[in-house]
């Protein structure tokens, strides 16, 4: 995949998910999204205060529900 394709795909991913992400987490997706690197699960985990002994996947599902987990999985391209 070329850099151009990567950027276009990430822009599309950001655009398609920004509204729902804000509805769920009350923070803009762009704060945790780089147009080249994509979604930054590490900075997001810090933002939502995932405890050290808990996985981001378990924390998101328990605290925000299945809809939230689905959007995070979409953003990272698979499993948390």
Q: Which domain holds residue 8?
A: 3-76
The residue length of the chain stands at: 80
Q: Are the C-beta atoms of residues 59 and 71 closer than 8 Å to each other? A: no
In this structure, are residues 47 and 27 in contact, taking their beta carbons and an 8 Å threshold?
A: yes
Q: What is the pLDDT of residues 17-55, one digit of tens each?
A: 999 999 999 999 999 999 999 999 999 999 999 999 999
Query: Could you tell me the pLDDT band of residue 78, with boundaries at 50, 70 and 90?
Result: low
Rounded-to-integer distance, Cα 39 and Cα 72, Å:
9
Render pLDDT for 53-72 as a digit per residue (tens, 0 to 9): 999 999 999 999 999 999 99
Three-state DSSP state, 6: helix
Q: Residue 80 has what pLDDT? A: 45
Q: What is the pTM of this model?
A: 0.88
Determine the average pLDDT of the residues in 5-27: 96
Q: Distance between CA 80 and CA 73 in Å, rounded?
A: 6
Q: Residue 77 above 90 pLDDT?
A: no
Give the chain's domain count: 1
* 28 in Cβ contact with 18 (< 8 Å): yes
């Amino acid at each position: 995949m070329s850099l151009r394709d990567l950027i276009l795909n990430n822009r599309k991913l950001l655009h398609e998910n920004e509204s729902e992400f804000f509805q769920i987490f009350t923070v803009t997706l762009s704060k945790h999204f780089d147009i080249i690197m994509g979604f930054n699960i590490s900075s997001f985990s810090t933002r939502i205060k995932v405890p050290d002994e808990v996985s981001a996947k378990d924390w998101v599902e328990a605290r925000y529900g299945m809809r939230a987990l689905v959007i995070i999985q979409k953003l990272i391209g698979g499993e948390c």
